[in-house]
Structure 1
Amino acid sequence: MELNEFKISVLPLRPKLLNYARKLTESPEDAEDAVQEVLLKLWNNRLELDQYRSIEAFAMTLTHNVCMDQWRRNRDNSSIDQLQTVAGGRTPDHLLELKDEVKLIRAIIDSPPPLQRTIMRMKDVEEYESEEIAQITGCSAEAIRSNLSRARKKVRDIYLQTIQERKRRKQS
């Protein structure tokens, strides 16, 4: 699909996609971001759009998925960031320890190599299916399973090592 054909068949869908995204996100800014991401994905996959019976239906599905991904990311980040509120009447020292713990966990999750980290986040945080991850990353299903296993093992090992080091420091 060339630029002119893209302008004729895809860009007119923008208002409809934006209305749908606004309903899902309840935020004009998030809706705009989602639609921009959808249009970018459509442009990047423009050579394969001819295989779909309805580009509009495909675009609506993409919009739905992007909005759900945004919701999951916001939900997961807010639950970690609101850890302090859950702590209730704890002391400031305890709240500081919780905040440090959150930083540590985020650092541990960011420790695997980029591809492994991306696959782990897509699978465990954003709840993508393995087939979807394979399509997005261009990796085989076996490579997805292998990278996911390695990433999880690395995160687990670093976490357990950190816990053991803390126990040793407390005992000394």
Structure 2
Amino acid sequence: MTPITADERGLLAAAQAGDERAFRSLVEPYRRALDVHAYRMLGSIHDAEDVVQETLLRAWSSLERFERRASVKTWLYRIATNACIDELERRPRRPEPSVDPYPDDRVPDADPAAHYAQREGMEIAFLTAIQRLPARQRAVLILRDVLGWTGAEVADLLDSTGTAVNSALQRARATIEAEERAVAPGATQRELLRRYVDLWESADIDGLVELLREDAVLTMPPEPSVHGSSAIRAFFAGVHPGGAPSETWANGRPAVILRGHRLLVLDVEGDRIAAIHAYRDPAVLAAFGV
């Protein structure tokens, strides 16, 4: 990591003298990246927001102990990662991990040294697999393979050794590589998204159902899932499509925003929709501007 910059030294000095505005200017350039890092670690937009707030509070309270040989980015990632690990260790173990959708346009560009490309580092299948890892393995995999940090940098951040970091990385990779990986968004997904939005706006239930695989599923946690295109047709008839939906992308998948209602994330297989995942959590909707 690069050392602290000249501009940051000035802001740091002012912040250490008690200037809260200087502190906000010091940390703001890293805020979005910290949000995404915490989201990857926790799988929850709401929990990630809480952890980033906790990170900034910890940073402010420990500002006088900041060592200028390190970069501000490294320092903040250290605090955020440890805050995520603390949160994970407090949580009860979840038998079936779940991951909130995340807006594609809020994800910073991937580091060229990263093992996974930006798209791969945000796929739902990948992030769900990460949620099955122990907290420290999770941190090592994200820092090394998604963010492109070196083994020495990760060992320093986690107060660990290079040997321990490499061992954790190998175990984490073995778990991830056993999972199915989603395909990249292509022309078919984009066309299906446009057609879905148009058909919903015109309340064309028959057209919407034609986009589905026969064995498609509609998930609406915590409500029961709806299985099969015929059952989904009946559900659509009850919710009365229409209005002005809008297109977006979540974790590399096509998605639809139903204003004031829900976010729908579409799983596309071939030229049909295999699953529709509906979300109405206010934190998730807010992330997409609803």
TM-score interval for Structure 1 and Structure 2 normalised by the shorter chain? 0.3 to 0.5
Question: Which TM-score applies when normalising by structure 2?
Answer: 0.30
Instruction: Flag the structure with higher helix content.
Output: 1
Question: Which TM-score applies when normalising by structure 1?
Answer: 0.46
Instruction: Flag the structure with higher strand content.
Output: 2
